[in-house]
Each structure stands twice: as C-alpha cells, then as structure tokens.
Amino acid sequence: MKGEILFRNVRLVDGRGDFGQADVLIGEGRILSLAGGEAPKVVEAKGLVLSPGFCDPHAHLREPGQEVKEDLESGLTAAARGGYTDVVSMPNTQPVVDTPEAVRALWEKARQIGQARLHPAAALTQGQEGQWLSEARLLQEAGAVMLTDDGRTNEEAGVLALGLRYAASWGLVVAVHAEDAGLRRGGVMHEGEVSFRLGLPGNPAYAESARVARDLELLRYALEYAPSVPRLLHIQHLSTRRGLELVRQAKREGLPVTAEVTPHHLTLTDAALASFDPVYKVAPPLRPRADLEALLEGLLEGSIDCIGTDHAPHTPDEKALDLLRAPFGIPNLEVAWPLLYTELVEKQGFPLATLVERFTDGPRRVLGLAPIHLEEGAEASLVLWNPAEARPVDPQAFASKARYSPWAGWRLQGWPGLTLVAGRVVFSASHPELLY
C-alpha cells in the first residue's frame, strides 16, 4: 500500500487507551494502515507518541477588531504548535460575532490561513448585551458550533432560558461564563485568606456556584419545552469545588450539561497572587489548593468533560499594569499539553489515555463533532509528541502575540513536534522536511 507519510515504530495513544507501537501510513487525508506500507516521507518515530489532534472548545483569538492582541493567523499557528487541530473562537470581539456574515468571514479566512481548523462560536445575544437573542438558526447554518456571551455573565435569566430552548432546536450548545456579577463585584482574585492579607478586592467562590446552580435550574426549565438533546448547557472554566459538586449532581440526574477546566486552574493557586504579578490575573480567579485538587478529581472521574484553554492574549503593556487595572487573561495554547502532561501524568500518575481523552474526544463530544481515533480509515488529524523531550517555557518563542506566561521558565515534557490536519502537515519542529 502506498501513502504520503509513514510513521515507523510510533506509539499509539488515544482516548480509548495505549495501543503500543505500530507503523502508521498516512494518505488521502486519513490513516491508511497501521501495518506499514510505502511512502516517500518516512519518520523514524521510536520513542514518540501519536495521538488524535487536540480540540480546544474555548479560545480568544481577538479577530475582528483586537488584532494587536492576537489575530487568526497568530492564534491558529500557536494552536497548531500546541498540537491543536481544532479551535473554537469566542465571539467577544469588536464588533461582536453575532451575524451569519461574521461567522462565514472568520471561517473563510481561517481556511485560507491553513493552520489549525477554526470553529467559530457566535454570540448568544445581539452585541452580547444580554437582552435580545441572536439568530440561532442562521448562525448555525453559517457554521457556528456554539452560542455564548463569554466574557459577560447572562444576568437576564429569562433570556438565557429562551436561548437554551432555541439552541436545542438547532443542535447548538450554549456555553456560559458562570459568575454572578453582583457577587463578583470588582474582585481581582479569589476572596479568601490571601486576598485579605494582600488587601485586594476578592471574587468569592460562591459567585461561581450560585450562577451554576441558577443556570442548571434554567436548563431544567428549558428542557420542559425543548426536545430531548444529548448536550445543551456547557459550563466554561469551572474553578471551584462547589461548582463541580453541582455539575456532578446534575450529570447524575441525566441533565445535558458539560463542563471544562483550564490548565491554569489545574496547576496554579491564588497563592501566586502574593507576588502582585498581573500575569496571574484571570477570570474566574485562581482558587485555593482544595479547589484545584477537587477539579483534578472531577477531570479524572469524568464530571469535567474536557480541557478548555481559555487562551486570552493581551498586549505586554496591558499586562504590565497593576493588579487592579490589568486585564484578565492567560495565553496558553502552546503550553497546555506539555504543562498538563508534566504536572499531571509525570508528577502525579494521572492516566495518560484519560488526559488524551479530555483533550480530544471530550471537547469534540461537547461540540457535537465526531471523535477521531487511531484506526484505519480515521481522519488523519493527529499530533506527534515526545514524552521525553524536556525544555523550559520560553514565551519569547511563542507564535502567539502574547509573549508572557505564568509558567515561564517551567521545565516541561511532552512538547508536540508535528501536527497534521486531515493529513496535511501544519506544524513540524521535529521533522521540518515534511512541510515541503
């Protein structure tokens, strides 16, 4: 059998498990064989791991209108470097992505760029102002995979409930930034012992759990009028133990709710803010270790469905402001996989296949996309990574325009070396000859 690329003696790991070594033949945009074959390009991959390409359900790529922070080319290039083949862009841009024309424009430009694939999210409400619903059907037909007012908190319960009902009719998931604005107030970090000691305004854990509880009640209400659906409400960047408990109970009841957690909420705590460094300022805020450990357990057991980066780039000048004035957000598309592989798998024994699942099948299931498994005939959207390669995080080498990181200098393992989208090499650090 003839193909285009042959990965020889590569270890196969997808969300179902570790399948040992194989000779993987790629051609016609798919996996042709797991038993070798002929190809003009051969990669000697002993010691390397091949996995399905990662999928990010939550990234801020800032285009249109905020290209000084990030644009589609820099963001999707950063994603490909991080092993991502699929990325969902948030609509809180300038102008807001709330029309079919805006969705199509993003999709077409991303196709021309030819890096990671873009799946635009569209605003749940017009202008993300929380008052009037956007046109769910037209947005879905234009290519939107999600409706969300992320960045804002859907204060009008009736609008969100109606939005859930309409989204269910058109097979869309509604993602919510689960924070109560009245409880959050002007908090710049978690409200607790550290914020009290530092004299900084806090954002209590109850701001999240109160809103998760309300949104789950709205989901129950919407389901009385909507058809049975496998997925409908998605909780973004879950950060607290209590919020997780509410999601876990809802799943036990069979409600169509999913949840994500970010790399920063799994690896950093509010203690980092003692440095007064705004690189750690994020919304929802970093929480105490007890919350972090609860989130790890939720990720392991499956109450948390997936990893969402919440990649949120800003300019260096913005992030250099003090903690009260600096914007919320951490860029992490390029480090998410090596960070969690190192901190969870290597250091804590987290099951590798489970972590791969949360980067691949989990987010694709949230979005209603078909899974990608390592089997003959499957789409060749893949990442080749090296579990033994260790190097420090160097923000100055990022493809993202946001060249700062809370993990700068951390020595991480498992860096992606090659990313393919439907058989096409979009990133290759380990084998640059494959790009030509």
Active site residues: 310
Q: How many helices (H) and strands (E) does the chain have?
A: 15, 20
User: Alpha-carbon distance 148 to 237, whole Å?
Assistant: 13
DSSP summary character for residue 304: S
Q: Residue 13's beta-bridge partner residues?
A: 18
Q: Which residues are CB-contacts of 323 (< 8 A; sequence separation ≥ 6)?
A: 188, 189, 200, 273, 276, 278, 281
Where are the alpha helices (H) located in 6-113, listed in sequence order? 72-81, 100-113
User: Alpha-carbon distance 134 to 174, whole Å?
Assistant: 12
Q: Which residues of 383-407 are buried (b: 16+ CB within 10 A; e: fewer)?
A: bbbbbebeeebebeebbbbbbbbbb
The 3-state DSSP class for residue 434 equals helix
Q: Torsion angle, CA of 360/263/102/76, rounded to 10 degrees?
A: -70
Q: How far from 256 is each of 3, 148, 172, 211, 248, CA to CA, in Å? A: 41, 16, 12, 17, 12
Q: How far from 371 is each of 16, 262, 381, CA to CA, in Å? A: 11, 21, 11
Q: Angle CA(351)–CA(35)–CA(53) in degrees, nearest 5?
A: 45
User: Alpha-carbon distance 187 to 272, whole Å?
Assistant: 16
Q: Where are the beta strands (DSSP E) in 39-156?
A: 41-44, 49-52, 54-59, 84-89, 117-122, 146-148
